[in-house]
Amino acid sequence: MEIQWGLFATEFARTFSFWWVILPAILLGLIVGAIPGFSAANTIIILLPLTLSMDPELGLTFMVALYASSRMGAGIPAILVNIPGTAGAAATPLDGYPMTRQGRAQQALAISFVSSVAGGLITTLLALLLMPWLSQVAYYLHSVEMIVIMIFGISLIASIAARDTLKGLIAGFFGLMIGYIGADVVYETPRGTFGFLELYDKVPLIPALVGLFAISEAFSVIEGESILSERGRLAMQKAGWAQTWEGVCEAASCWWHIVWTSFIGLVIGVVPGAGAAIAAFVAYQQSRTFSKTPELYGTGHIKGLVAPESANNGVTSGTLIPLLVIGVPGGATAAIMAVVLQYHGVSMGPELFTNQPHLAYGPFTAMAVTYAIMILTIMPLARYMSRITVVSTVYMAPIIISFTLVGSFVPRAYVFDMYLALVFGVIGYVARKTGYHVAAILIGVILGPLLENYFLRALRISQGDVMVIFSSTVGNILWVLLVLSLVAPWFLDWRKRQRADREG
Amino acid sequence: MNDKPSGESKGKPVGADLIIPVTSIAFCAYYFSTITEVPWTAQVSAVLVGSVLILLSTFFVIKTLRDVLRGRATLGFSRLIEPVSYVRKRSALLALTLGYIFAIHLLGFTLTTFVFLAAAMMLLSNGRRKGFIVILSAILAVGGYLLFVIAFETRFPEGALEHFLKEMF
């Protein structure tokens, strides 16, 4: 595949002419992204009759715009009320919410919007240029390599919960064990289900997300009249347009940070099944590891917000690469797009780029145009969105509880899932109060089933030899990188202390 | 109002910190009991992860108990319930939430959400601004119905009111 500049230019011009499809998709995407339980994938499924009736290029543009905007929408409640709209935004509140509590919600939103848009734009353009090479990544990653990547994800937990690594690890492994609940994929034997049929299909992610973040947060915030600190409340009273501009400038000052963390998202997005949550946490951890001020992370640090937001938007274009180049969807939303394309008789793979280049490159140009339109439409809203933080917890807590609980009902229509969300809420409340990280538990719940699937596959291939996890060169390189990533923070910290001792 | 429970003046209260490790150990034990009959390949991943979790949790429990024995900490649970003045409200809110989930599949989203919001807001506001709370709850419940059920056609729990409105329009 050669880079075709002329074709790209034509495609961009064509995509801009679809603004009337992109604009409502952005609005819808921002709403569904911001509400836990309403993922882009679910919404695209609901709207399948609409997209299937459209011309494939137009339908694809609509889906891509909705997908990209929902990714950004998920960060809004994560920043404002500590409740990520989707699991991909689970790392966003780590620094976004402390900024809100300090009365800097408007700046945090502006930083999130700029990072998301810039990250999304950069990776979309990179995806267009590097597609032939990036698509090869998926060929090199088999079950064994994926096991290491999953454990890489778990190891992040220890560094995220830096105040007590042991508590972080316990929370992460506890989440993993919860993720193992349900029937195993090979023999369909129910395990750890407490006799509930509703748990045979594994623990559903939305009730876990709702409970761990939203319910536990609602039960915690009632201790005060407002989620804002006293200083934060004063700052919010004075807030005007200048705060949005301040956020834009702060994000712009981290431009290089946006570039490299969004690239992490792009590469992880190419790996089928890895997803935005892992990308955001990897970017956050890497950002902190190489920071000169790692102690500021978790306290409302700008780069702590930039990293996950750039990375999870970088994933968006990454997931489309394996779908279009080798016909393997990189995530749930990409899988639904594949269904729509197949319905229209479009066959994915290398021939798509020669036979129907406008369909092959179209999703990326649609994504770039979506991001460009989105920044213009959403930025002026930062000031008004941030006002939600001055709402008294007397009203906010019951609203959070009722609407997110119903959100956990939506995906499967089981009342059981609402009870499950409440159970996770209790776990989350205990975790928050005692210093265990709810994000660590959530990432464990996400990775548990994935880790087990890859482990079982690797065991079947090796006929039961556990040492298979050290059998691949790429895998072994990843193991070394994993060890290095665990040791690096300790080493850098040790070196910093040595230097301080010498200077002191 | 005194927000600190009495009798926990000596050392840091760390009893609540043990809830998650102890629950983890108990859950692993239960999980292992459910996989004794399954083939080895379906056990191995969970056994590996569960063993690590038991190891980590046991280490944490021992470390905490050592601190308690040395007088640096107590087995108090105050961290979980502080500030104590909110225990009653929090318990009542939990009871209301349980009632909300129980009632929602009988009465449907709109009616149950209205009652829950009004009751929970009145509880948290100590019964102030009743009129405002009732109007706000009604707007939110009806707004939620219009946005999610009518506009987005989302699968929300339906009751008599939703069925009646569906028949009417």
* Least confident range of A117-121, A374-378, A425-429, B17-21: A374-378
What pLDDT is recorded for position B7? 45
The residues, ordered by sequence, that sit 6+ positions from A379 with a Cβ below 8 Å of its Cβ are: A110, A113, A244, A248
The whole-number average pLDDT for the span A286-309 is 89
Judged against a pLDDT cut of 70, whether residue A212 lies above it is answered with yes
Supply the pLDDT for residue A442. 84
pLDDT given for residue B169 in this prediction: 67
With beta carbons less than 8 A apart as the criterion, state whether A64 and A18 touch.
Answer: no
Instruction: Compute the distance between CA of residue B164 and CA of residue B161 in angstroms, rounded to an integer.
Output: 5
pLDDT band at A258 (very low <50, low <70, confident <90, very high): very high
Q: Which of A142, A165, A140, A146 is nearest to A155 (CA)?
A: A165
The Cα A287–Cα B105 span in angstroms is 46
Label residue B95 by pLDDT band (50, 70, 90): very high
Query: Model confidence at A159, in pLDDT bands (50, 70, 90)?
Result: low
How many CB pairs lie under 8 A apart between chains A and B? 173
Residue B8 has pLDDT above 50, yes or no: no
Q: How far off is chain B from A218, nearest CA to CA, in Å? A: 10
For residue A158, the model assigns a pLDDT of 60
- Average pLDDT (A440-455) is 84
- Cα-Cα end-to-end distance for chain A: 58
Q: CA angle, corner A155, sides to A154 and A160, nearest 5? A: 95
| Contacting residues of A for B154, CB less than 8 Å apart | 38, 46, 410
Per-residue confidence at A15, pLDDT binned at 50, 70, 90?
A: confident
> If you average pLDDT over residues A429-434, what whole number do you get?
92
Which residues in chain A have Cβ-Cβ distances shorter than 8 Å to B90? Answer: 219, 222
Higher pLDDT, A406 or B81: A406
Mean pLDDT estimate for chain A: 83
Distance of alpha carbon A86 from alpha carbon A407, whole angstroms: 11
Query: How many CB atoms sit inside 10 A of residue A473's CB?
Result: 9
pLDDT number for residue A328: 66
* Nearest-angstrom CA–CA distance, A497 and A468: 40
CA A166 to chain centre: 25
Cβ atoms B77, B13 nearer than 8 A = yes
Question: CB–CB of B121 and A166 under 8 A?
Answer: no
Torsion of CA A357, A360, A366, A369, to 10 degrees: -60
- Give the mean model confidence (pLDDT) for residues A299-324: 88
- CA dist., res. A165 & res. A404, Å (int): 30
Minimal Cβ distance to A460: which of B41, B93, B105:
B41
The listed range with the strongest mean pLDDT (A146-155, A193-202, A286-295, B36-45) is A193-202
pLDDT of residue B99: 96
Q: What is the pLDDT of residue A96?
A: 92
Q: Sorting pLDDT into bands at 50, 70 and 90, what band is A161?
A: low
pLDDT of B118 above 90 = yes
Q: What is the DSSP string of A63-110?
A: HHHHHHHHHHHTHHHHHHHS--SSGGGTTTHHHHHHHHHTT-HHHHHH
In the predicted structure, residue A236 carries a pLDDT above the cut 80: no
pLDDT over threshold 60, residue B3: no
Q: What is the mean pLDDT of residues A54-72?
A: 86
- Beta carbons within 8 Å of A318's beta carbon, 6+ residues apart: A123, A127, A134, A265, A266, A267, A268, A269, A270, A330
The mean pLDDT of B114-133, rounded to a whole number, is 93
Helix (H, G, I), strand (E, B) or coil at B12: strand
CA distance A297 to chain B (A): 24
Q: Which candidate from A177, A399, A460 shows the least CB-CB separation from B50?
A: A177
* pLDDT for residue A160: 64
- Residues of chain B contacting A191 with CB distance shorter than 8 Å: 31, 34-35, 38, 42, 46
Residue of A394, A403, A438 to mutate, interface with B, max B Cβ within 10 Å: A394
Give the model's pLDDT for residue A115. 94
pTM of the shown model: 0.81
Task: Count the alpha carbons within 13 Å of B161 in the hemisphere toward its beta carbon.
Answer: 18
Pair of tokens at residue A36: 């836990």
Instruction: Provide the pLDDT for residue A2.
Output: 60
| Contact call for B100 and A38, based on CB within 8 A | no
Q: How confident is the model at residue A304 (pLDDT cuts 50, 70, 90)?
A: very high
What counts of helices (H) and strands (E) characterise chain B?
7, 2
pLDDT recorded at residue A301: 93
Q: Can you give the pLDDT at residue A162?
A: 52
Position B1 scores a pLDDT of 40
Judging contacts by C-beta atoms under 8 Å, the chain A residues touching residue B150 are: none
Is pLDDT at A447 greater than 50 in this prediction? yes
Average pLDDT rounded to a whole number, residues A157-180? 80
Q: Which residue has the higher pLDDT, B163 or B88?
A: B88
Q: Which residues from chain B sit within 8 angstroms of residue A436, using beta carbons?
A: 20
Structure-model confidence comparison of residues A378 and B3, the more confident one: A378
> Least CA distance to B16: which residue of chain A?
A434
- The answer on pLDDT for A125 being more than 50 is yes
Residues of chain B positioned with their CB less than 8 A from the CB of A433: 16, 79-80
Say yes or no to pLDDT of A41 above 60.
yes
SS3 A40: helix
**Pair of tokens at residue A119:** 């990250």
pLDDT at A422: 96
CB B101 within 8 A of CB A418: yes
Average pLDDT rounded to a whole number, residues A46-63: 79
